[in-house]
Structure 1
C-alpha cells in the first residue's frame, strides 16, 4: 500500500472512532425519559396511575330511584331524604355564570351501618346533573352539615347535606356518589340516584 493509501486509511479509522465515541458520549450525556413500552405492554413505574399498579375493581355504577335505599354491601346502606326546593338570594352559579336569585334543590344523604364492623367511607366524590336533557349542575353548598362522616361504628348512622342548582321548570335530577380509598380507588360501587321531583 502506498503512503497516501495508508494515510487515507488511518484518517478513516480515526474519523470512525471519533464519531463512535462522540455518539456514545451524546447518548450517555443527555437526559431522557423512560423507554416507550412495546405494543400491548403496560407502562412501568411507581406512579399510582400506572396500569399494572391499579387493581381491577370490577365495580359498575348502580342506578336506583331517588326514594330508594341502596345496600352497598356488608350492611352498609345509603339513601336520599328531605328533598326541598329553595331560592338563594344573590347566588352565583360558576357553571353557567348566572348570578342573582337562583333556584336550587336540597336533600340529605343518610348512611346506615348495620354490620358488626366499622365501615370506612374514605373519600366521597359526588356529582349532580339536572334537566332534560341532563346537564351538569353546580352546588350552592348551603347545608349546615356538608361533610360526609369518615367512618361509621357498628349500628351507627350518619348524614350530610347536599344541594344543586335546579331551575323552577326542571324536575329531573341525577345524583351520583362514590366512596373511595386514599388512592382514589372505589371501595364500593358508585350509586346514581335518578328520578323526578315535584
Structure 2
C-alpha cells in the first residue's frame, strides 16, 4: 500500500471511531436526559366508588325496620340493634382510642325467588350522628361475612357494627350486592332511621 493509501486509511478509520464514539455518547446522553415512557398507571380497586361501572341504579332509601325486596325474590332487612362498648378499641376514621361505644345489628337476606343469587360480594358503609358522619366498623360480630350465595327458599345473615357515641341516635347503613366482576347486581339500599 502506498503512503497516500495508508494515510487515507488511517484518516478513514479515525473518522469512523470518532463518529462511532460520538453516536454512542449521544445515545447514552439522550437516554439519561429523556424522561422515558410514563410509568403504567395502577388499576383502581373496584371498591373505589368513582371508578365503579355506570349501572344507572339509584340508591333506594328505606326505614331501619323495613324489608327491601329487590324484585326477583331477594330481600334484605336489619334486626337486633344493640349498643356496646369495645374496651381498648381503635377507630381508624377518627383516630380515637380507648373504650369506644358502638352500635351492632344483624343483616338478614332471604331468597324467595326461583334462582340462586350471589350474596357474598358486598360493599357496606355506615354513617351516624346529626349531622351524619362516616363511621368505621370495629367488626366484633361472631359471623361477619355474608353468605356466598342463596339458593331458592334459603336465607342467611351476618353481623354488622359501627362506632357510635351514646348521643348518636341517627344511623344510615348502605349495602350493595355485586357479581364476580364487581358489577352491582341491584340498586344500593340505604337503611336510615333512629336508634335508641
Fold match (TM-score > 0.5): yes
Deviation at 1:31, TM superposition (A): 7.0
Which position in structure 1 is the counterpart of 2:165? 167
Instruction: Assess if the C-alpha contact under 8 Å between 1:69 and 1:77 holds in 2.
Output: yes
Instruction: Assess if the C-alpha contact under 8 Å between 1:140 and 1:165 holds in 2.
Output: yes
Provide the C-alpha distance between the structure 1 equivalents of 2:153 and 2:58, rounded to a whole number of angstroms: 27
1:92 is the counterpart of 2:68: no
The 5 Å alignment of 1:141-152 reads: 141-152=139-150
* Structure 2: segments with no counterpart, 5+ residues: 1-29, 39-43, 47-51
Aligned length: 155
Which position in structure 2 is the counterpart of 1:124? 122
Give the TM-score normalised by structure 2. 0.73
Which position in structure 1 is the counterpart of 2:113? 115
Provide the C-alpha distance between the structure 2 equivalents of 1:119 and 1:48, rounded to a whole number of angstroms: 24
Match of 2:66 among 48, 68, 85: 68
Which position in structure 2 is the counterpart of 1:188? 186
* Structure 1: segments with no counterpart, 5+ residues: 1-25, 34-46
Provide the C-alpha distance between the structure 2 equivalents of 1:119 and 1:110, rounded to a whole number of angstroms: 14
Deviation at 1:117, TM superposition (A): 1.3
Deviation at 1:122, TM superposition (A): 4.5
Show CA shifts across 1:90-133 (max 9, x none). 11111111111110000000001011111112410000000011
Which position in structure 2 is the counterpart of 1:80? 78
Instruction: Mark the CA change 1:126 to 1:48 in structure 2 (over 3 Å): closer, same or farther.
Output: closer
Name the SS of the counterpart of 1:73 in structure 2.
coil
Provide the C-alpha distance between the structure 2 equivalents of 1:55 and 1:96, rounded to a whole number of angstroms: 30
Provide the C-alpha distance between the structure 2 equivalents of 1:94 and 1:32, rounded to a whole number of angstroms: 38
Provide the C-alpha distance between the structure 2 equivalents of 1:184 and 1:138, rounded to a whole number of angstroms: 22
Give the TM-score normalised by structure 1. 0.72
Deviation at 1:55, TM superposition (A): 6.9
